[in-house]
């Protein structure tokens, strides 16, 4: 059983909890996920099972979120799960002011992750250091924010703005909530978060753990095929049995001897490698001296 699950994570489950539950349901040890989702958050959590766990690194990085940001409040965790350390009405903030500052958060920006996060510093998770009361400098990172669209605005003493955010991997929406509040002259926390797309998987097609368990008991569960998870990569097809054998042995193959899909006649970089029936893994097209070669990176057979 090798492939992916487009899992819909429900609130109060950690990403690790979901992986452990999938292991129990499917009775398999090889299970991994494609990007941590906070316990309070809901939405898409890509899961890989079996040999597909080797492919998680090749999934597309793009993510999309629907978030509600509450202004006038600051917490230790930058969301409502933490201890409130600032609370002052922010009724003076207007939607016009928000529209004026949001462009500052779009593009490649420097972001400071929340102290309560899974990032490692000196081999320790930040959230563990925070729980131990240690105060350290959180390292900044470059992240890509593609779009931020305002969906709804609710004025009041502690106004809320609902936004749709499309971004690259490694982006913390809690940090956007915190920094937006500061930019507006107040504070901000993340009040709600739904990931509606991640690594090429989208929320409408996702299933819950309960759905997975029901399908497994009925014998109807079929994982998403590896090649569907790698649909964004160009395809190289190995038709000859000897080429498949050489690939499985980790040998480099001359590109001129292979069949390329019509839509990708000149691939470069990473490619998914197929035979007539299934995905054989991921390779990389490299030019070595005067020859273009298919170099195995991850072999599934």
SS3 at position 152:
strand
Q: Which one, of 155, 158, 153, 7, lies nearest residue 87 by Cα? A: 158
Please give the structure tokens belonging to residue 51. Answer: 């040999």
38 classed as catalytic? yes
- CB count in 10 Å sphere of residue 177: 27
Q: Which one, of 190, 175, 74, lies nearest residue 126 by Cα? A: 175
Please give the structure tokens belonging to residue 155. Answer: 């004025």
Q: Which one, of 167, 196, 206, lies nearest residue 61 by Cα? A: 167
Q: Which residue out of 2, 12, 17, 38 is catalytically annotated?
A: 38
Instruction: Compute the distance between CA of residue 209 and CA of residue 25 in angstroms, rounded to an integer.
Output: 9
**DSSP assigned state of 10:** P
As annotated, the active-site residues are 38
């Amino acid at each position: 059983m090798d492939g992916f699950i487009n899992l819909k994570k429900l609130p109060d489950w950690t990403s690790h909890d979901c992986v452990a539950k999938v292991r129990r349901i499917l009775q398999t040890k090889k299970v991994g996920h494609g990007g941590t989702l906070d316990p309070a958050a809901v939405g898409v959590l890509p899961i890989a099972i079996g040999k597909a766990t080797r492919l998680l690194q090749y999934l597309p990085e793009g993510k999309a979120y629907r978030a509600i940001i509450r202004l006038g409040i600051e917490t230790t965790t930058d969301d409502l799960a933490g201890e409130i350390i600032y609370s002052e009405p922010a009724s003076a903030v207007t939607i016009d002011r928000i529209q004026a500052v949001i462009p500052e958060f779009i593009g490649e920006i420097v972001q400071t992750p929340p102290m309560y996060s899974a990032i490692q510093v000196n081999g320790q998770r930040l959230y563990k250091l925070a729980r131990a009361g240690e105060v350290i400098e959180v390292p900044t990172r470059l992240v890509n924010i593609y779009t931020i669209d305002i969906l709804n605005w609710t004025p009041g003493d502690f106004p809320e703005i609902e936004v749709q955010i499309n971004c690259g991997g490694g982006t913390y929406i809690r940090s956007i909530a915190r920094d937006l509040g500061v930019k507006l002259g107040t504070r901000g926390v993340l009040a709600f978060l739904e990931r509606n797309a991640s690594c090429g998987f989208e929320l409408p097609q996702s299933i819950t753990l309960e759905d997975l368990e029901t399908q497994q008991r009925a014998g109807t569960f079929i994982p998403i095929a590896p090649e569907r998870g790698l649909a964004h990569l160009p395809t190289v097809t190995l038709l000859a049995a000897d080429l498949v054998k050489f690939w499985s042995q980790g040998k480099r193959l001359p590109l001129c001897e292979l069949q390329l899909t019509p839509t990708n006649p000149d691939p470069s970089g990473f490619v998914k490698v197929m035979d007539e029936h299934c995905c054989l893994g991921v390779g990389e097209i490299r030019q070595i001296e005067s020859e273009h070669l298919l170099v195995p990176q991850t072999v599934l057979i």
